Amino acid sequence: MARPSLPTKEVKKAIITVRAKSEEHEALLKYCEERNITIAQLFRERFSDVLMSA
């Protein structure tokens, strides 16, 4: 039986990307939790000018 190959560069890069995105998501959740707001409220506050002009 053949041994599974080691992860390729692309797979390793994808794993690193997923970890980074997970850390960003955790930071976003923590930021919102500390301010007692939802992510939706945060985006409405930050992008209200863009939403109003659409």
With CA atoms as reference, report the closest residue to 29 among 40, 17, 14, 18. 40
Domain boundaries, the chain: 11-53
Question: What is the per-residue pLDDT across 5-34, written as a single tens digit (0 to 9) for each?
Answer: 767 888 888 888 888 899 999 999 999 999
**Which residue, 39, 20, 19, 21, is CA-closest to 29?**
39
What does the DSSP assignment read for 14-51? HHHHHHHHHHHHHHHHHHHHHHT--HHHHHHHHHHHHH
Quote the pTM value.
Answer: 0.58
